[in-house]
Structure 1
Amino acid sequence: MNQQNAVPVAVPAAPAVAVYGANGHTGKFVVAELRRRGIPVIAVGRDPTRLPADVPARAAALDDPSALERAFAGCAVVINCAGPFLDTATPVVEAALRAGCSYLDVTAEQASAQATFEAHDRPAREAGVVVIPAAGFYGGLADLLASAVAGEAALEELTTAVALDRWWPTDGTRRTGERNRVPRVVVEDGRLVPMAQPGESRDWSFAASGETLPMAELPFSEVVTISRHLPVRRLRSYLNAAALGDVRDAGTPAPTAVDAQGRSAQRFEMEVVAVDAAGTRRASARGQDIYAVSAPIVAEAAARILDPSFKRSGAFTLGEAFDARDFLHALARTHLTVAFDSV
């Protein structure tokens, strides 16, 4: 195919998934994971010269609604991997809905996820499709873990803690950090409220690794996803202080591939601890490379949406749209180590 002209190609007979931002760091992982699963992929991006040559590709700029709609035509699902999502989510989800596609993204930005939920639930229901923002490592994984340990009663407290042995930020992460100046929110007394400044610092003992690490309060989109469908009085999120130092250091390099999948050597551990009248329960997930692992998470969601038995429509979180434990067990076969226990 002539990448310079990005000539539209015929859509495969099987339902296809369009990946917007397919040329980006996370987008490349998503395209590879969809192909591994045998799901037809259409790569979409703003720059036709940077789109992959080994899959069907289409070019569409964010400020060209008609081009976006044409790029998604004939597809069943659009996965948005292009940040900052404060800028990309609205035009991409609106074009996806006009094209009759379900929409997923991998935003860690609270304000973007919240705006997508609020603006696109009704249009998605009217179109008979689903909209699921924050379906990656940040937002999605914690929501699945929280959904898996939530009981019948309202949660008194929910805490998420993430440890990264290193955080090598991508250029996209740095651009998003510069763009996203919206105050972060937490849940207090059952309501989303601005996080106190400075955030709380504490130590956290991770059960799987046995490490106790200094943590900084740093909520991402999981606060929005979890609070959207789980009744919780108090919700807090923490990241280990060393990883926060990495991402704040302008001299920290970008991730470097160390294996055939293109993953970096980064290791992560995420814990979610839920407290209610029935007691305290913990769920954890461990794996390699927070950018790479977003691909199997969002691809698993896309595969479930493509299943003819899936009939839901509207805006949902991952834990709301799917059986959380079943979803996590599917990821645990090849991508994650997942554990559940009582504390």
Structure 2
Amino acid sequence: MKWMIYGATGYTGELIVHQAKRLGYRPILAGRNKQKIETLATHMEMPWRAFNLESVDTIASQLEDVDLVIHCAGPFEETAEPMLHACLKAKTHYLDITGEISVFELAHSLRKEADDAGIIICPGVGFDVIPTDCVAARLNAQMPNATHLALGFDSSSRMSRGTALTSIRRLHKGGAVRENGEIKNVPLAYKTRRINFGDGEKMAMTIPWGDVATAYYSTGIENVEVYVPASPKLITRMKRMNWIRWAFAFKALRARLEKKVAQGPAGPDVKERERAYTWVWGEARNAAGDVITIRQKVLNGYTLTSRGAIELAVYIMRNKLSPGFYTPSRLYGAKLIDRFLVD
């Protein structure tokens, strides 16, 4: 089968390209910048194409002979919709590495169209949301009557430039949780609690992580929250920011922050990725008040993304699967996390 990595010259896209190369694959490398794509493809000895995402018809014409695309070009809230519709038109399987709730919801809304087109749509085939999604699925299997699900992760790794920019773009929206089956916009640092993610108990706060969308589709559990460690000082700062976060809806203010982020490194280097593993945590609770917990130690998020995206792409191409919308754990099974565990 012929497949493509779009956004191949971005920080995470290039990690995925190198993982494909290590495993002996030669996907088509694609992106918006012809010079960058050609340079990378020449170095990696892979075929390439350059096209933008402004027209669904243009994208679809580039995907007519492509069986599957891993979409890596953010911001996904702008790029996912045209790529998704182009994949539906070209009958090309769609994977992406998004962590944006709105994109997961969009992908889920197109589940019937995916079924009709005979393709698989599976967003979030990276750190967000593979490990937390698999933990959610295992908790659900152990407690089928769970009514509440809390997930989280603890990592010392720095954000990539793209992840930081995404966080800035949605800052004005605040946080998000799922309550009674519905996604609810809430203040920043909406809830706080002490959690042992795996490396000792720490103060933590809720964040609008992708599992707020996907964990419901993987488990059917109607109440979902996602936590990360946060110092009391940071929690206080985030709570105060709720009074002014509306201002970040203005492009001029966001542009100042985005410019500062753009001046920094693209993401953690090799040595940092090798030593900065991640603890993933999950807790399920039922109406009787019973609680079960899972903790798993996994690879650095960016390393996990590079491996997870290729793992699921190859899995789709090697197996005859029913079309439609999937989360990673529903596509591959909760055992997928076992591929990325750290001793």
Question: How high is the TM-score relative to the length of structure 1?
Answer: 0.81
Shift of 1:148: 2.0
Q: What is the one-letter code of the residue matched to 2:298?
A: G
The 8 Å contact of residues 128 and 313 in structure 1, kept in 2 or not, is answered as yes
From the two aligned structures, give the one with the greater helix fraction. 2
Percent identity of paired positions between Structure 1 and Structure 2:
22
Distance in 2, matches of 1:278 and 1:184, equals: 26
What amino acid is aligned across from residue 213 of structure 2 in structure 1?
Answer: V
Unaligned stretches of 5+ residues in structure 2: 239-256
Q: Per-residue deviation at 1:204? A: 0.9
Q: Name the counterpart of 2:207.
A: 218
Q: What amino acid sits opposite 1:318 in the alignment?
A: P
CA distance in 2, matches of 1:295, 1:197: 30
Check 1:116–1:183 CA distance in 2 against 1; reply closer, same or farther (3 A cut).
farther
Structure 2 counterpart of 1:319: 329
Partner of 1:337: 342
State the alpha-carbon separation in 1 of the partners of residues 184 and 125 from structure 2: 23
- 1:341 maps to what in 2? none
Q: Which residue of 2 aligns with 1:18?
A: 4
Q: 1:285 — aligned with what? A: 296
Q: 2:315 aligns with which of 298, 304, 310?
A: 304
Quick check: 2:28–2:49 contact (8 Å CA) kept in 1?
yes
Q: Is 1:172 matched with 2:158?
A: no
What is the Cα deviation at residue 29 of structure 1? 1.3
The two structures, once aligned, show a CA RMSD in angstroms of: 2.6
Q: Does 1:41 align with 2:27?
A: yes
Which amino acid letter does the alignment assign opposite residue 84 of structure 2?
V
Contact 2:5 2:71 in 1 (8 A): yes
1:315–1:148 distance in 2 versus 1, CA, 3 Å:
same
Q: How many residues align?
A: 309
Report the Cα offset of residue 279 of structure 1.
Answer: 4.6
CA contact (8 A) 1:113 1:224 kept: yes
1:253 positional shift: 4.8
Deviations 1:291-337 (A, max 9, x none): 221121122111111123x3211111112222212x223x1xxx323
Residue in 2 that maps onto 1:157:
148
Q: Distance in 1 between matches of 2:58 and 2:333?
A: 35
1:264 is displaced (CA, Å) by 6.0
1:272 aligns with 2:282: yes
Give, as a single letter, the amino acid of the residue that structure 1 aligns with 2:203.
Answer: P
Using the TM superposition, give the Cα deviation of residue 202 of structure 1 relative to its aligned residue in structure 2, in angstroms.
Answer: 1.8
For 1:258, the equivalent position in structure 2 comes to 270
- One-letter amino acid of the counterpart of residue 200, structure 1: K
TM-score normalised by L of structure 2: 0.81
Q: Provide the rounded CA distance (Å) in 2 between the counterparts of 1:37 and 1:281.
A: 37
User: Is this contact kept in 2: 1:256–1:264, CA < 8 A?
Assistant: no
Corresponding residue for residue 76 of structure 2: 85
Aligned to 1:138: 128
Give the C-alpha shift of residue 136 in structure 1: 1.4
Classify 1:40/1:34 alpha carbon distance in 2 versus 1 (closer, same or farther; 3 Å): same
1:66/1:134 CA distance change after superposition, 3 Å: same
Letter in 1 for 2:229: N
Q: 2:337 is matched with which residue?
A: 328
Amino acid across the alignment from 1:270: V
Partner-residue secondary structure (3-state), 1:79: strand
Q: Which is worse superposed, 179-188 or 101-110?
A: 179-188
Correspondence for 1:12: none
